[in-house]
Amino acid sequence: MKHFIVWALLCAPLAAQDLAVKAQKVFTCEGAPIQDGVVIVQGGRITAIGPAVSTPIPAGMRTLSAAVVTPGLVDAHSVIGFSGYLNQPQDQDQHDASAPIQPELRAVDAYNARERLVEWVRGFGVTTIHTGHAPSALISGETLVAKTRGDTVDEAVIVPRAMIAATLGEDAKSTEKGKSPGTASKQVAMLREALLGAAEYKRKLAAAGADASKRPDRDLRKEALVDVLDKKVPLLLTAQRHQAIESALRLQKEFGFLLVLDGASEAYVVLDSIRAANVPVIAHPPMARFWGDLENASRETPSKLRDAGIRFAFQSGFEAYVPKTRVVLYEAAIAAASGLGQEQALRAITIDSARILGLDQRLGSLTLGKDGDLALYDGDPLEYTTHCVATVIEGVVVFEGQR
């Protein structure tokens, strides 16, 4: 009984409180860094930010101190909460292999807010994750956006249906002889067929109007893709090789849906095409193993995307092996050292990620009125020897110490 009481106290949600954070350097990720700065959070929102000399801390307010403070980190694409740290069948819900096209699979029905990997990345300053079904099928299912807090999906999730995840490439090819899709052209043909079927379903619904007798039988799969065609949700399309990227852009041009390119390891080959389509990129983790579809990947791709004026962000991605996730902070650090630079790398895991997710009015920068999500460090966040000393979500200290 004693052990249960201790466990309950440790797992109980932390109470929100007003909070001040002092730091030698404050990266707002919207403007120039503030030297010797202060951030004040009240009611879960940022209510003041500026130099310490001109930003008084109210009497009695709890105050945390750090060498550096940044906005809470935003992981632009992950499978945390679906792919568990045990790497055993019971905690692997990121992919259902029964069919190549399943856009109707809801992310909220599988997300595990108590998965230990959520706690793990929170200890590095990650406060928001865009996560869901893995790039392991032609269309694997929905994604969601969650804060790295809470014990239930309702406590964690802020966008229950963010995107629909699709894949062009080796990971989406059938491993069974004679089963589809077995080639790149078959993959695109099957995607086109699914989108055309959704367009016809939409036409029949419109023609039936209010007459229930004329409405087609309900089809969850087609309903999900109608929402893609209607631009209610973007298609998150993982495409690594330049041929797959070009196929994704052709599909987007044909059907007019909102497209977010994922991975895009050979994006540097087709920069002009991506820029012309005005499509954002969630770049592959720079430390991913360069083999298979990533054999021609480059750690300099993020800097080339920046130079080309293409919106991009970083992700932890999907790993098939233990520990099942990367830390997006370290991925940004490698890109920073590969030509991107410190401030742009930090933006790519804060405000730029938030913009691609459509949440930049709420997340991603230390700006008045935004969520009080902060990451505190004892040095340069992109240095490997630096520790995250505290993580704050909407004014609640959800991690404090050293990872």
Q: Smallest Cα–Cα separation from 63: which of 390, 384, 367?
A: 390
Taking only the tens of pLDDT, the chain with its 403 residues reads 333 333 333 344 445 679 999 999 999 999 999 999 999 999 999 999 999 999 999 999 999 999 999 999 999 999 999 999 999 999 999 999 999 999 999 999 999 999 999 999 999 999 999 999 999 999 999 999 999 999 999 999 999 999 999 999 999 998 888 889 999 999 999 999 999 999 999 999 999 999 999 999 999 999 999 999 999 999 999 999 999 999 999 999 999 999 999 999 999 999 999 999 999 999 999 999 999 999 999 999 999 999 999 999 999 999 888 778 999 999 999 999 999 999 999 999 999 999 999 999 999 999 999 999 999 999 999 999 999 999 999 999 999 987 6
**Helices 242-255 & 184-208 angle (0-180, nearest 10):** 20
Other C-beta atoms closer than 10 Å to the C-beta of 159 total 17
CA distances from 393 to 13, 37, 126, 192, 374 (A): 12, 19, 10, 41, 7
pTM of the model: 0.94
Domain 73-363 has CATH 3.20.20.140: yes
Residue 320 is encoded by which pair of tokens? 């098939």
Q: Where are the alpha helices (DSSP H) in 294-348?
A: 301-307, 328-335, 342-347
Percent of all residues in the chain with a pLDDT value above 90, rounded to a whole number = 92
CATH topology of domain 1-71+364-403: Urease, subunit C; domain 1 (2.30.40)
- Let me know if the fold of 1-71+364-403 is the same as that of 73-363: no
pLDDT confidence of residue 335? 97
Q: What is the pLDDT of residue 37?
A: 98
Question: If you count them, how many residues does the chain have?
Answer: 403
Domain extents for the chain? 1-71+364-403, 73-363
Can you state the angle between helices 184-208 and 220-229, rounded to 10 degrees?
A: 90
* CB-based contacts of 83, cutoff 8 Å, min separation 6: 91, 92, 93, 94, 117, 134, 318, 319, 324, 325
Kindly state the DSSP code that residue 214 receives in the 8-state scheme: G
